[in-house]
Amino acid sequence: MLKKLLLIIVLCVSAMGTAQQCPNLLSPVNGATNVAVDTAISWESVAGVPGYRIRLGLTPGGAEILERSVGNSTSYTPPLGLPENTQIHVTIILDFLFNGGPDIVCSGQSFRTEDVTTPPGCTTIRNPADGAINVSVFTNIVWNYAPTATDYSIRLGTTPGGSDILSPTLTGNVLSYNPPGQLPSNTTIHVTIFPRNENGSASGCAGTSFTTGAVASIPGCTSLIDPLNGATNVPLTPLLEWFPVPGATGYRVTIGSTPNAADILDNTAFPTNSTFVLEFEPNRTFFIRIVPFNSAGDAIGCGQESFSTLLGCGPYLDTTTGEFISLNPEITFPDTISLCSNELPHTVSATDVADGYRWFKIDIFGNESLISDTANVELNENGTYRYEAYTNIAQSGQLIECPTTKTFTVVSSELATINNLDIQDSGLNLQVTVDASGGGDYEYAVDNINGPYQNSNVFNGIEPGTHTFYVRDKNGCGIVEETFSQDLTVEGFPKFFTPNGDSVNDFWQFIQPQNSETVVFQSIRIFDRYGMLLKEISQNSLGWDGNFSGRPLPSGNYWFSAVDGTNREIKGYFALKR
């Protein structure tokens, strides 16, 4: 049955895209007069509306009398009647809580009630039932509304019509009474109730009786754990669970599609608060009352709770796999999209599998405007947008939509401009800072256009030589590059040498620069960092091999002093690398 349910999907209200028609009152009609105070209020049914709320007030749009959700019922009878000779204002609210609203509050309509001139009739007692036995000594008394009544007088006694347990007591305009303390145990108790109004009291009302049981504690009330009272978007096959009540031996559960109905469960007893699964209709409000009980009787005054099922698009609980199934498409879409200033307009294409797509621009006030209803959209400016993908589901000869949406932001970006490469000599290696500008968010790499890229624009430990630096816009607007070639000599003196026996840079020696005047040095001397002379070489020799007294010196920085034929001294340093 569940699999059939997966193929029979109700209309997704959020995708209807058409205005809802507010209903007219059917009874009493708008403007009616002399309406009975116990009238049932009914209105036209509106297609596609998941539920209604009714508001009754003494002023237009007011709720001084009551406001109540009635599910998808199109009629409601006020449980305590209406005040007499009064203009009653009725507001019907189309309840779209399932798709996030907004609810539609319809224009008010009104009617005037009758002027009651006679006393009310008698009522009937609902609880305890006439002749009931083993009733809890803590029971309350519940009765039905007596038309035109505005107050009730109740008495309790050990004889018919007697009042030795409770003398005549006015309850006000309510339909239940909880006797103070506890009733006598193992006793037959007679109940008599006389409805009243401003014209007098009902007369000749017959009483009922019940017999109490032994003194015992009745359990307290409970409340839903899952779903919580007032929950929306509840799965169609929810696990219903409520708080356990100490001392309760069972729970009576009533569930209806309207506040007074029991069309789903009718006072069904369950031995524990353990969960159970029912299949509910989609897009509906359900009303539930849970009454714990034990041998002493039922809990007293337990309230009604409600929850609303989700749209027909799912998710549904597949009882064969225990997994939830959704008919909405799965989408993968980024939170941010960049507009490249050099590539406008920017076309975005949906990659999600769906039957249809929509793109909306959202202004600063939250208003949406449709800018595309295809898989592609052209974006020309920054701002907030909403992307929607939907699947079409066949139902009762028509297609309905099951949408999934994602709000995203569009920001501007652009290709970088490399202004300069700032190169600092740290001795053995170089530190290079890439000075880039532009309206984008950039990352940096060296010698490989594919990276790895880093967020910092500073590169340490760069060996002397030729290098290419890359600046990439993180939002995809492109890559720029800049190459530099470092002169490995300073006025002919190498910056480093590697005396490792590979015949490449094994000696440090002055190299005559090309296309420059020939320089002849009288002496070239080499020192360590403490100023100790390590070696003096001639310009015509191979140069220094990195040894001192036949012992290889460690890697590090060394200093030189060279004096030419004009006694000009050139000083500097170089690196020995092993």
- Report which secondary-structure segment, H or E, holds 348: strand 346-349
Per-residue pLDDT, 396: 42
Q: Hey, which residues does 482 pair with through a beta bridge?
A: 469
pLDDT at position 311 is: 59
3-class secondary structure for 406-446? Answer: EEEEEEEECCCEEEEEEEEECCCCEEEEEEEECCCCEEEEE
Determine the residue type at 311: L
E strand map for 3-108: 25-27, 41-43, 52-57, 66-71, 75-76, 87-94, 104-105
Residue type, 369: S
Domains of the chain and CATH, by start? 14-112 (2.60.40.10), 125-211 (2.60.40.10), 224-325 (2.60.40.10), 336-413 (2.60.40.10), 417-485 (2.60.40), 489-576 (2.60.40)
Which DSSP string do the residues of 184-221 spell out, in sequence order?
PTT-EEEEEEEEEETTEE--SPPPEEEEB-SS-PPP--
Q: How far is CA 314 from CA 229, 247, 280, 512, in A?
A: 21, 38, 12, 83
Task: Check: CB of residue 133 under 8 Å from CB of residue 186.
Answer: no
CB 578 within 8 A of CB 533: no
Which residue reads 């709000």 in tokens?
A: 407
Res 502: pLDDT: 87
- CA–CA dist 329, 33 (Å, integer): 53
- Whole-angstrom CA distances from 9 to 281, 396, 398, 416, 431 are 10, 9, 11, 52, 66
Q: Which two tokens stand for residue 485?
A: 């070639």
Identity at 316, one-letter amino acid code: Y
CA 39 to chain centre: 43
* pLDDT tens track, the chain, 578 positions: 223 333 333 333 333 333 458 999 999 999 999 999 999 999 998 877 778 899 999 999 999 999 888 888 899 999 999 999 999 999 999 876 544 456 789 999 999 999 999 999 999 999 999 999 988 888 889 999 999 999 999 999 999 999 999 999 999 999 999 998 889 999 999 999 999 999 999 999 999 999 998 877 789 999 999 899 988 778 777 889 999 998 899 999 999 988 888 888 899 989 888 766 677 877 778 999 999 998 778 888 899 999 887 656 766 655 566 566 778 899 999 998 888 877 778 889 999 999 999 999 999 988 999 999 999 999 988 899 999 999 988 744 457 788 999 999 998 888 899 999 888 866 557 789 999 998 888 999 999 999 999 999 999 988 766 789 999 998 888 899 998 865 545 578 888 899 988 888 899 999 887 777 778 889 999 999 888 999 999 998 999 999 999 899 999 999 999 988 778 888 888 899 98
Backbone angles phi, psi at 333, to 5 degrees: -145, 140
Distance separating alpha carbons of residues 175 and 191, to the nearest angstrom: 14
For the chain, give the mean pLDDT. 86
pLDDT tens digits along 406-428: 999 998 888 899 999 888 866 55
Other CB atoms within 10 Å distance of the CB of residue 22: 17
Residues 360 and 378: beta-carbon distance below 8 Å:
no
What integer pLDDT is reported at residue 17 of this predicted model? 35
Query: Which of 460, 475, 470 is CA-nearest to residue 430?
Result: 460
Q: Which two tokens stand for residue 195?
A: 């409805």
Element spanning 4, H or E: helix 2-7
Q: Report DSSP letters for 509-536, one per residue.
A: ---PPTTS----EEEEEEE-TT--EEEE
- CA distances to 68, 69, 127, 242, 462 from 470, rounded to whole Å, are 67, 64, 85, 63, 15
How confident is the model at residue 195, as a pLDDT?
97
Which residues partner with 389 through β-bridges?
Answer: 357, 404
Give pLDDT, residue 533: 94
> How far is the C-alpha of 8 from the C-alpha of 534, rounded, in Å?
94
